Amino acid sequence: MTEKLTAKDFTTAQEVRWCPGCGDYAILKSVTNALADVGASRENTAFVSGIGCAARFPYYVETYGFHTIHGRAPAVATGLKLANPELDVWVVTGDGDGLSIGGNHLMHALRRNVGLKILLFNNEIYGLTKGQYSPTSRVGTTSPSSPRGSFDAPLSPGQFALGAGGKFFARGVDTDKTGMSDVLRQAHAFQGTSLVEIFQNCIVYNENVFADFTDRKNAANSQLHLKHGEAMLFGENNGKGIHLNRDTLQLEVVDAEKSPDEVLIHDEGNATIARLLIDLHLPVALGVIYRQPATSYEDAFYAHHPSRMQRTKSIGDFIRGPSSWVVD
Amino acid sequence: MTALLSIALNSWLHTRSGNSRFLKSPIIVNKNKDVDSIVVRIAGDSGDGIQLLGSQFAVSTALSGSDFATFPDYPAEIRAPVGTTFGVSAYQINLGGGPITTAGDAPDVLIAFNPAALKVSLPLLEKGALVILNNDSFTPRNLAKAGYDSDPRKDDTLADYQVVAADISRLNLEAVKQFGLSKSEGGRCKNFYALGVLMWMFDRDLASSETWLNRRLGEQPTLRDANTAALRAGHAYGETAELAATLPQIHLPETKLEPGEYRGITGAEALALGVAAAGELADKPILFCSYPITPASPLLHRLARLSEMGVGTFQAEDEIAAICAAIGASYGGMIGVTSSSGPGIALKTEAMGLAVSAELPLLIVNWQRGGPSTGLPTKTEQSDLYQAVYGRNADTPLPVIAAATSGDCFEMAIEAVRIALRHMTPVILLVDGYLSNATEPWKIPDVSALPAIEHNALPPSDDSPQRRAFARDSESLGRPWVYPGMPGLMHRIGGLEKDIDTGHISYDPANHQAMTDLRSAKVASVANFIPEQKMELGADSGKLVVVGWGSTYGPIYQAARATGASFMHLRYLNPLPKNLGALLSRFDTILVPEMNTGQLSTLLRDKLGVSPVSFPKVSGQPFHISELVEKIAAVSKEQAS
């Protein structure tokens, strides 16, 4: 075993070409830190991306990297993971790349539970093509392609993931080092598709679109950091809690000091509560919202190829077919 | 008839004494007379088990020592409304003394399971052919569904044919009555009843089909026994006195095939074996990624049963995911293979560009079908040549090769993988939909003699991993195959233009020119590694040469043989063989028959500056030998005048 690598060992010499102040810088730092933390091996790690600002990511990580085509990274990564299940395969995508042109591939990676760690940089806008509204943009988003405001209903990445049969869904905020570190570590450990939605601030085309809950000054009251088995508390001194109203089947905020027994305990395996948490706004749920261990696609694939992709017979064993005859 | 054509036909008749079109009557009129070859067409509803009947007959033909070629002709609908003309499924087989290279022009024998099958097939027959009808299906309702105003058995529709109207449905049900099957279950045995009749006609042993039934239905003994009884009853029916007078028994000569071990093989089977063999020769696992599409799916089905050859199959969510997963596999160190038909290949186009840009090996198989759009999914065409050679955004060249026959799919699959690994490029292998299900006898190759497929080794170097990954071979311009998991060689690749040395992103104008030139030169360099073009038949200079590609090999071969025309068949379409231009220049006229509107003609004009005479056919049906013979004669006559 070689000595433990540091974040610097996972950084390439390439000049990073994101806009100054872009949330991607912070995410890159969190990812290289996380790779060092989990003891990742550089040669056994690959980053696969599609197209968009986020898709430049592989050029900046000192591992194997493949910058592919728009929306198709989950499909390429699926082939890669099947070819070598020992690899740690990360997919870097965005709201346009992953949920619009590549929505089909993301859906099928999730339902198959392919061992991919998918980082979905959600900035609710098309950055690289200069600011058009995206499938996660809220109704009314003014952009070059929607000068009178957009009128498409937005897609919720979390509801999409659970609807597709995804087994791991987590959230982080680009600049929240602690939260990101935890989420990335857990995404890495999951056997199957781990989808991490990262709220990423596009300072050029959609600045502060998440400010209502990412603003540090008010973070305590606007963010709910989930931990499996722990009470859903937030606010100053954790004074508030999340309660399930059993009549309306909605989540409500309660005073945690007055009614501590009414506060829900986070159970990552509960898909129903996870769906409610995904839709919760102020506070916004962060951390691992849903995790349901299941057989990964690559494990099932190898189990269904009896020789586990090893050649146990030669072409000479098959070439005669069911019957052959000899001409003298 | 022109004098020249008469000569051509005479010489053809001389070599093809049993040919269906011109010697129709001797076969039928002189019962029990030995003939050289005969064409049988079996037609019925798509639910009648026609394809199974045909393939069983083909196996027994092979075992009897005859040469043969088949043409499964089935509808796009899985179970079209019963009794309709668009639901007719047919299987045509040409059998006899070799070489037989086509499924035959016009059937000598037709077995029609219902009025619709008769209606669809009758125009294909020459006068005098033998028509065997399933009497029981000629009900007023079925006649109406087929569009017959009156019963063709009673009017003069069949006046020019020899007709045997047999109660196939009823006799079959009687034969299986003892097994207590439902009427519909029992009725489904009638294909084996008809197979029995055919087996008697050709004096065949029932053993091969009984063995097959035993293997296939061993777990369902009642069904096995019922089908076996139907088969035997059909055979006995042929022998009964009342029919021996009507039905001819036909003895075909054994074919004079090259000595060796043979099997029957379809293009899909041969291609699957070729892909698996390529993996063994390259000592790499294969990951085959595809999305179901007609007529490409049989390859997926075949490969799914070859996992012991280190072959994995991934059924992707769509065509794009299929090629992308194959690219991911190649990026990960397995041989990525994808397959589709024209519309699916169109969807894969952008990803092909990625494989070209990233310099990754990949095999793309295109089972061409009639188009445009959904077109004729079950009918054959060769109209994706432009798409293969020219059909991508930007300057994105890649090698294109094509298989000529079902058996040739084996060799060309290996060749495609060899090119892909040597030059680190995607390769398109064009096959016609016709080849997917067409069976032919195939001489089993000596697999131990096949040369290993080399992949580009990584030379020792002190350079950075990024440079080492793009240190290309000076002859093939292929880069080393470096993939994740290899220690110390971490590097980044992608679809953005790369610096020619380091692979880093580069927008430098001179570099883009150099990379574009490099990609062209790489594909051009394939010509230095492939065999020179040779003549298939005839002199290597003269007045006329017929040039073919793909599945037209069979009919062109026969037409050239009959007329004495020179014939060359192209397996390498991009780049073309280096000597092709010089070879073509030795002929006054180049005739190019193809199942499209003249795509190879355009390609030859573009690449070699020649002016071929195009002979296009886009009916969804293979060429008839006779139409090629006539065209060769007509072109020869024009030359003479």
One of 3.40.920.10, 3.40.250.10, 3.40.50.720, 3.40.50.1000 is the CATH number of B31-244, namely 3.40.920.10
pLDDT at B57: 92
Q: CA of A58: which chain B residue's CA is closest?
A: B492
* Largest Cα span, chain B: 88
* Cross-strand bridge partners of residue A203: none
Q: Please enumerate in sequence order all residues whose Cβ is within 8 A of that of B510, keeping only pairs 6 or more positions apart, or say none.
A: none
Angstrom CA distances, B356 to A71, B527, B528, B622, stand at: 18, 18, 20, 34
Q: How far apart are the C-alpha atoms of B249 and B27, rounded to whole Å?
A: 10
For residue B9, the one-letter residue type is L
Count Cα neighbours of A239 within 13 Å in the Cβ-side half-sphere.
Answer: 5
B312–A301 C-beta distance less than 8 A: yes
B262 interaction partners in chain A (CB closer than 8 Å): 324-327
pLDDT at B65: 78
The closest CB to that of B495, out of A69, A108, A313, belongs to: A69
CA B23 – CA A172 distance, rounded (Å): 81
| Low-confidence residues in chain B, pLDDT < 70 | 1-35, 241-247, 253-256
Pick from B317, B354, B440, B468 the residue to mutate for testing the A interface (most A CBs within 10 Å).
Answer: B317
Q: Which CATH architecture has domain B263-449?
A: 3-Layer(aba) Sandwich (3.40)
- Average pLDDT of every residue of chain A: 96
Judge: A75–B493 Cβ closer than 8 Å, yes or no: no
Q: For residue A326, what pLDDT is reported?
A: 81
Measured at the CA of B440, the angle between CA B34 and CA B163, to 5 degrees, comes to: 45
Domain B542-640, CATH number (from 3.40.47.10, 3.30.70.1900, 3.40.50.920, 3.90.1300.10): 3.40.50.920
Domain ranges across chain A: 7-209+295-304
Residue of chain A with shortest Cα separation from B465? A64
Q: What is the DSSP string of B373-424?
A: TT-EEEEE--TTHHHHHH-SSSS----EEE--STTHHHHHHHHHHHHHHHHT
> What residues does each domain of chain B span?
31-244, 263-449, 465-527, 542-640
Distance from CA of A309 to the nearest CA of B (A): 4
| Contacting residues of A for B279, CB less than 8 Å apart | 311
Can you tell me the mean pLDDT for A195-208?
96
Alpha-carbon distance of B27 to B25, in angstroms, equals 5
Q: CA B358 to CA B361: how far, in whole Å?
A: 9
Distances (CA, A) of B239 to B207, B248, B533, B589, B620: 17, 10, 52, 54, 39
Express each pLDDT in A154-176 by its tens digit: 999 999 999 999 999 999 999 99
CB contact under 8 A, A324 and B327: no
Banded pLDDT at A306 (limits 50, 70, 90): confident
Of the candidates B540, B556, B546, B517, the residue with the CA atom closest to the CA atom of residue B604: B546
**DSSP annotation string for A227-280:** -TTSB-EESGGG-EEEEEETTTTEEEEEETTT-GGGSPBP-TT-HHHHHHHHH-
Cα diameter, chain A:
97
β partners of residue B545: B566, B590
Phi-psi category of residue B477: left, alpha or beta, with phi > 0 → left and psi -120 to 50 → alpha:
left
Preferred mutation among B492, B497, B507 to probe A, highest tally of A CBs within 10 A: B492
Span A178-192, mean pLDDT? 97
pLDDT of residue B35: 59
Q: Which helix (H) or strand (E) holds B94?
A: strand B88-96
Q: How far is CA B513 from CA A49, B258, B551, in A?
A: 26, 52, 38
Sole residue written with tokens 């897609």:
A155
| Same fold flag, B263-449 and B542-640 | yes
pLDDT at B256: 67
Which residues, in sequence order, are CB contacts of B393 under 8 Å at separation 6+?
A: B349, B350, B353
Which residues face A224 on adjacent strands? A285
User: What's the N-to-C CA distance of chain A in angstroms?
Assistant: 63
Burial B63-94 (b: 16+ CB within 10 A, else e): bbbbbbbbbbbbbeeeebebbbbebbbbbbbb
**A83 → closest Cβ in B269, B333, B490:** B333
Question: Amino acid identity of B531?
Answer: P
Q: Which pLDDT value is given to residue B417?
A: 98
CA angle, B75 then B434 then B429, to 5°: 130
B309/A43 touch (CB, cutoff 8 Å), yes or no? no
| Percentage of chain A exceeding pLDDT 90 | 94
Instruction: Indicate yes or no: CB of A72 within 8 angstroms of CB of B65.
Output: no
Query: Do β-strands A325-327 and B260-266 pair in parallel, antiparallel, or remain unpaired?
Result: antiparallel
The nearest CA of chain B is from the CA of A43 a distance in Å of: 5
Q: How far apart are CA A325 and CA A51, in angstroms?
A: 55
Of all residues in chain B, the one with the smallest CA distance to A320 is B263
pLDDT score at B348: 98
Question: Which residues on chain A are in Cβ contact (under 8 Å) with B328?
Answer: 48, 66, 75-83
| pLDDT number for residue B243 | 63
Nearest 5°: CA angle at B489, between B488 and B494? 150
> What does the pLDDT read at residue B17?
32
Residue A2: pLDDT over 60: no
pLDDT for residue A176: 96
Partners of A325 in the β-ladder:
B262
Option in B259, B320, B322 nearest A328 (CB): B259
How far lies B429's CA from each of A175, B262, B368, B572, in Å?
Answer: 50, 25, 10, 10
In angstroms, the separation between the Cα of residue A151 and the nearest Cα of chain B is 29
- Give the count of Cβ contacts less than 8 A between chain A and B: 216
Q: What is the token pair recorded at B112?
A: 């029609």
B639 membership: H or E segment, kind and range: helix B625-640
Q: Which fold has domain A7-209+295-304?
A: Rossmann fold (3.40.50)
pLDDT per position as a tens digit, B504-549: 999 999 999 999 999 999 999 999 999 999 999 999 999 999 999 9
Supply the pLDDT for residue B258. Answer: 82
pLDDT of residue B144: 95
ipTM of the complex: 0.97
Cα(A297)–Cα(A302) distance, rounded to whole angstroms?
9
Among the partner residues B59, B276, B328, nearest to A76 by beta-carbon distance: B328
Got the DSSP string for B4-57? HHHHHHHHHHHH-TT-TTTSHHHHHHSTT---SEEEEEEEEETTS-HHHHHHHH
CB atoms closer than 10 angstroms to residue A107 = 20
Alpha-carbon gap, residue B248 to B244, rounded angstroms: 7
**Rounded CA gap, B486 and B465, in Å?**
11
Alpha carbon of A210: minimum distance to chain B alpha carbons (Å): 31
